[in-house]
Amino acid sequence: MQTDFPIRKIIHVDMDAFYASVEELDNPDLRGKPLAVGGNEIRGVVSAANYEARKYGVHSAMSGYLAKKNCPHLTFVKPRFSRYKEISQLIRNIFFEYTDLVEPLSLDEAYLDVTTNKKGNPSATLIAQEIRQRILEEVGLKASAGISINKFIAKVASDFNKPNGQKTVNPEEVLQFMEDLEIRKFYGVGKVTADKMYQLGIFTGKELKEKTLEFLESHFGKSGSYYYNVVRGMHPSEVKPHRIPKSVGAERTFNENLSSEIFMMERLEHIANELEKRLKKSKIAGKTITLKIKYSDFTLQTRSKTMPYFIADQSLIFELSKELLYQEKMENSVRLLGISLTNLNTEKKKTEPKEDAISVQLQFDF
């Protein structure tokens, strides 16, 4: 296929039910049983669920109460993030044996650019198979993968044969693949956007492709050009080994709902202290502070303020958070408070595409 962007060999590796799988790895008695990581039936939110639990409709971000209601015999375990990070590093060490171009998205997924790789293997498909097999043999966990010419398609493809599978979308298959793709499976299209597209008669990539750039920009703003390009197989974003964070935050879910602002102050001070530690560890500061409030009825509210200078100090973060908390009256008792900083000192201006990255056509053995 001829594109205005370089065609690469990109692999997206996505671990299957990662947190839950690590718990099953360390405790074999949990295998084969519905399992949720995080929260419990009284408080908290599900961070992850294994495939047995998903059969009952249990999923991440669901309240522990509802998860237990859907699956009465569900087992809850507390998350162990230090262990997940340890396992994640073992997996990344395997990635780096194939390429230095590894971009982690989270502890359980990453992009790999294997256009040129340390093994000298011309087939990204075979590399993905080998990586998944090594993760299984050396770490004891299963992974899925998507392989294609850019990050967007690789990401979408990795969901097709989950769990423990992979899908390759070859260069000559890209346009048809995108036309056949349901719009809700487009990476970056959430429920709200999907519903809006449905109202416009857009249900698949083919119908999206029929819309003009002007039409998409008029209905979706800046995202319109993104949709216009990706449905044509064009996504120029490179695999970036060192991803620059866009926000840093800390939050807490409480064992009991808080109705007194005095108790909220005490919790906010602890959260501000934790946020300061994370900022100093990463040598990051930000100008925009956001207070996140989740009420007992699970409604979510955010309040933000932008300063003319960068902040990272606990005392200032705490004072600004208090100001935001008292900005307006509480709507209900509170189950979660969080503080985050954006508009960071790590953000850089976007650069223009390089001239030598234009109109490249490569024939790959995928």
The one-letter amino acid code at 34 reads P
Distances (CA, A) of 265 to 127, 153, 337: 52, 46, 10
Q: Classify residue 190 by burial, with Cβ atoms within 10 Å: 0-12, 13-18, 19+.
A: exposed
- Residue 272 and residue 42 in contact, taking contact as beta carbons nearer than 8 Å: no
Distance in angstroms (rounded) separating the CA atoms of residues 337 and 258: 10
Q: Beginning with the edge strand found earlier in the chain, give each strand of the sheet holding 166-168 in spatial order.
A: 102-106, 109-113, 10-15, 143-148, 166-168
Active site residue 109: yes
**End-to-end CA gap in the chain:** 14
Q: Count the neighbouring beta carbons within 10 Å of the beta carbon of residue 168.
A: 21
Q: Which of 91, 82, 78 is nearest to 47 (CA)?
A: 78
State the catalytic residue, choosing from 23, 52, 103, 109. 109
Which contiguous run of DSSP H or E holds residue 286?
A: strand 286-295
Q: Catalytic positions, please?
A: 109
